[in-house]
């Protein structure tokens, strides 16, 4: 350990898992000068690739506690991350604003109260009669949709973000290993991680960013870590109604709990469901399109043009996410459930600080 402290920057850190959390951690740590290796055998089939990329931070209604602190920090960190990533992909952007809508009068009253209690320039009530609300009501053939707008929140394309992070990580000389880790153990101040092919990777620190599977690599009973799988699903719907122009809707919004992203005049994405299972359900179209008392005909008659899902890990018995320094140089960063894309900047900052403290 003494040697490691003296040679701070020479420490080798193994990041297990290459979803959004693993990639952000690897990048943050590589900026500090460490030698980083990311290991993952199926980085294209994870929950991060399924994400809709909504960054719902500022419109989060609980303005205290750990969850709000993480969101707040992430909102503050995102602009710098974006600037850095745009050096590698100048088309990567955060589309703003984000709109939250409801047809439930009680819920709207709560939203109104929240806005009135938070004199935040970036949050506003969408008044009845405003062009945005008129357009939304017209497209959804109703009169009772109301909501709020946040000019600080928005959406980033998750797949494009992950691809850009890969280019950036390569540029920062982060090593990538296409392997699955089946065991980790400590031996003489070093961590030995064994791959499915029986290769041993030695590192000074291990950061577990492998979502649900993190519990397979630690003594989860001893550390009292429990994670549950929660399936999230999304569909791309193609409509066939010349009278409806989906581009007259806002770029991204949530209505009665469903996230909607219009892609073109006749295509939109709807997500996501919350199921305590790992298998996609059959009637996904019905589940995702029923968010109003009366579903408009253009939506009922639409067809699924794409469908995808991802398994999110939700902590059982404690709030999301789980960020813990388990034992000497073994750090856990998992259980991001619905907000991994939003929270990645704040969590990687937390991990970097833990490692700096551990090594200093």
Ligand X SMILES: Cc1cc2nc3c(=O)[nH]c(=O)nc-3n(C[C@H](O)[C@H](O)[C@H](O)COP(=O)(O)OP(=O)(O)OC[C@H]3O[C@@H](n4cnc5c(N)ncnc54)[C@H](O)[C@@H]3O)c2cc1C
Q: Which is nearer to ligand X, 50 or 244 (CB)?
A: 50
Stretch touching ligand X by CB under 6 A, among 168-176, 228-236, 277-285, 323-331: 228-236
Tokens encoding 269: 């994405």
Rounded Cα distance between 236 and 31, Å, is: 37
- 168 near ligand X, judged by CB under 6 A: no
Residue 251 in the binding site for ligand X (CB under 6 A): no
Q: Does 30 bind ligand X (CB under 6 A)?
A: no
- Residues 212, 310 contacting (CB under 8 angstroms): no
The answer to whether residue 193 forms part of the interface with ligand X (CB under 6 A) is no
Q: Residue 321, preceding bond cis, omega within 30 degrees?
A: yes
Residue choice 132, 342, 351, 355 for contact with ligand X (CB under 6 A): 342
Q: What is the DSSP string of 149-195?
A: EESS-EE--HHHHHHHHHHHHHHTT-EEE---EEEEEEETTEEEEEE
Shortest Å, Cβ 28 to ligand X: 14
Sign of CA dihedral 211, 216, 222, 224: positive
| 203 near ligand X, judged by CB under 6 A | no
Q: How far is the CB of 269 from ligand X (least distance, A)?
A: 10
Task: Using the minimum distance from each CB to ligand X, give the nearer residue, 40 or 204.
Answer: 40
Which helix (H) or strand (E) segment holds residue 31: the answer is helix 20-31
d(C-alpha 98, C-alpha 262), whole Å:
13
Q: Using CB under 6 A, which of 147, 250, 302, 340 touches ligand X?
A: 340
Which positions from 37 to 76 touch ligand X by CB under 6 A, shown as an x/- string?
Answer: --xxxxx--xxx-xxxxx----------------------
- Enumerate the β-bridge partners of residue 141: none
For residue 139, what are the CA distances in angstroms to 133, 265, 300? 10, 12, 13
Which of 209, 228, 193, 235 lies closest to 315 in space, CA to CA? 228
Q: Which two tokens stand for residue 339?
A: 């907000």
- What span, in angstroms and rounded, lies between the C-alpha atoms of 38 and 201? 11
**How many C-alpha atoms does 219 have within 13 Å on its Cβ side?**
6
Site string for ligand X, 254-273 (x = CB under 6 A): -----------------xx-
| Residue 158 vs 244, nearer CB to ligand X | 158
- Residues 103-122 within binding reach of ligand X (CB under 6 A): none
Shortest Cβ distance from residue 106 to ligand X (Å)?
25
Is residue 157 a contact residue for ligand X (CB under 6 A)? no
- Stretch near ligand X under the rule CB under 6 A, chosen from 18-26, 97-105, 184-192, 292-300: 18-26
Give CA–CA dist 210/22, Å, rounded: 8
Residues lying near ligand X in the complex (CB under 6 A): 16-22, 39-43, 46-48, 50-54, 180-181, 209-211, 213, 232-234, 271-272, 310, 312, 334, 336-342
């Amino acid at each position: 350990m003494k040697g490691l402290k003296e040679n701070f920057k020479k420490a080798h850190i193994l990041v297990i898992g290459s979803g959004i959390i693993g990639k952000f951690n690897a990048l943050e740590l590589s900026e500090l000068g460490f030698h980083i290796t990311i290991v993952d055998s199926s980085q294209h089939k994870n929950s991060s690739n399924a994400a809709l990329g909504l960054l719902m931070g500022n419109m989060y209604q609980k303005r205290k506690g750990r969850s709000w602190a993480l969101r707040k920090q992430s909102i503050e960190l995102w602009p710098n991350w974006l600037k850095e990533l745009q050096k590698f992909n100048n088309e990567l952007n955060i589309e703003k604003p984000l709109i939250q809508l409801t047809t439930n009068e009680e819920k709207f009253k709560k939203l109104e109260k929240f806005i009135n209690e938070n004199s935040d320039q970036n949050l506003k009530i969408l008044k009845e009669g405003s062009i945005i609300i008129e357009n939304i009501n017209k497209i959804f053939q109703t009169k009772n949709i109301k909501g709020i707008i946040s000019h600080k929140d928005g959406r980033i394309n998750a797949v494009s973000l992950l691809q850009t992070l890969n280019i950036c990580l390569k540029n920062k000389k982060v090593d990538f290993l296409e392997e699955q880790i089946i065991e980790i153990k400590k031996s003489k101040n070093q961590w030995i991680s064994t791959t499915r092919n029986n290769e041993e990777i030695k590192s000074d620190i291990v950061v577990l960013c492998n979502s649900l599977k993190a519990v397979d690599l630690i003594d989860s009973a001893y550390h009292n870590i429990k994670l549950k799988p929660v399936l999230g699903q999304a569909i791309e719907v193609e409509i066939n109604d010349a009278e409806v122009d989906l581009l007259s809707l806002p770029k991204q919004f949530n209505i009665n709990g469903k996230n909607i992203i219009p892609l073109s005049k006749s295509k939109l994405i709807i997500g996501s469901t919350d199921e305590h299972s790992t298998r996609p359900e059959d009637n996904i179209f019905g589940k995702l399109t029923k968010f109003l008392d009366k579903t408009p005909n253009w939506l009922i008659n639409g067809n699924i043009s794409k469908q995808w899902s991802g398994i999110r890990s939700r902590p059982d018995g404690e709030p999301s996410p789980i960020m813990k320094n388990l034992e000497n140089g073994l750090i856990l960063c998992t259980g991001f459930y619905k907000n991994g894309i939003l929270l990645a900047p704040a969590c990687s900052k937390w991990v970097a600080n833990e490692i700096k403290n551990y090594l200093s």
